[in-house]
Amino acid sequence: MPLRSTVTDPRFVLDDFEPVYLRTWREGRLEKKVEAAVAELADCRICPRDCGVDRLADETGVCHSGRHAPVASAFAHFGEEDCLRGWNGSGTIFFAFCNLRCVFCQNWDISQAPAGEEMEAAEIAELMLALQERGCHNINFVTPEHVAPQVVEAIAVAVPRGLRVPIVYNTSAYDGLASLRLMDGLVDIYMPDFKFWNPETARRLARARDYPEVARAAIAEMHRQVGVLRFGPDGLARRGVLVRHLVMPGLVEESAEIFRWLASEVAVDTYVNIMGQYRPEHRVPDNPRYVDIDRCPRPDEMEAAYTAARAAGLWRFDRRH
């Protein structure tokens, strides 16, 4: 049955939809993308870490990933936004490792430590097709920033074999622009985080001082490719950008700056999930270096975040029903 949707404006409804990768495939551009993606691995500048290692020879850098993508899990996920999980779940494929070092990471056991197994493109394609077969509404690549070329390879295998659901690129927004341009014509839905506004906060909490600058450029490129989030008549997301922002204790002013930027530089119609599920994890609990974030956000901080978003002009907020 259709989901109840907050979208009533017909500008945000797609009556006719075809995954963008099908046109890319028909026009013969998919093979060229694979060639370009694999070439990127030889001198890896895939993400902003710019390690320069030869991953074709299984050399590794910050992300600890070589020629093949490490896959931690694949399953129908019912914890995503309503417009993604629907009634059959979002077909999530979680990649292990990460190019950030968030001290509060809730998935640190797979982002900061070995997990799962390395898979070739054909094996990842099998996962994609199996998730589609069980009725998942989309294929949701989680933490793909460091394995973007391998994602391109897997899509190229899955499409001729019958893949027909939207592809979701679920990322921290610490993405290289070259990688995102490889995704142009492959990804229907971008779901970036926008974590921090202040470079010093990003340095202290994620070891990436350039994160705010990188995230702004990445989200702008994502919006250029797919625009604001649009839905099918059933209430499921079909194409566009869905920005997630995790409200953190004591950092509401950074939230406000992020919302002002989204409204003024991307679009006031940007669809935003303002999340309140931060909790102290990983290196934070009982650590004097992070005492300021060793708590959950208070209700007044959540309310202040929503107030700031509305003051900026944003109005399309994700709400769970």
- The Cα–Cα gap between 108 and 272 comes to 25
User: What residues contact 156, with CB distance under 8 A and at least 6 apart?
Assistant: 30, 31, 33, 34, 121
pLDDT of residue 7: 52
Domain locations along the chain: 10-317
For residues 186 and 162, the answer to whether their CB atoms sit within 8 Å is no
Integer angstrom CA distances of residue 263 from 119, 171, 180, 258, 260: 39, 20, 22, 9, 5
Pairing type for strands 117-119 and 69-77 reads: antiparallel
163 vs 36, 119, 131, 160, 167, CA distance in Å?
22, 19, 10, 7, 10
Reported as a single tens digit per residue, the pLDDT across 160-210 is 999 999 999 999 999 999 999 999 999 999 999 999 999 999 999 999 999
Residue 5 token pair: 């949707």
Bridge partners (DSSP) listed for residue 167: 139
CA distance 52 to 45: 6
pLDDT of residue 72: 97
Tokens standing for residue 288: 């004097």
CA 55/CA 245 separation, integer angstroms: 32
At which residue do the structure tokens 């640190």 appear? 108
Q: How far apart are the C-alpha atoms of 187 and 3, rounded to whole Å?
A: 23
With a cut of 50, list the residues of the chain below it in pLDDT.
1, 4-5
Considering only CA atoms, give the Rg of the chain.
Answer: 19
| Rounded Cα gap, residues 132 and 161, in angstroms | 12
- Domain 10-317 fold is TIM Barrel (3.20.20)
Residue 294 identity: D
**221-240 burial by CB neighbour count: b if 16+ within 10 A, else e?**
bbbebbebbbbbeebbbbbb
The residue among 259, 178, 278 whose CA lies nearest residue 218 is 178
Q: How many CB atoms lie under 10 A from the CB of residue 16? A: 6
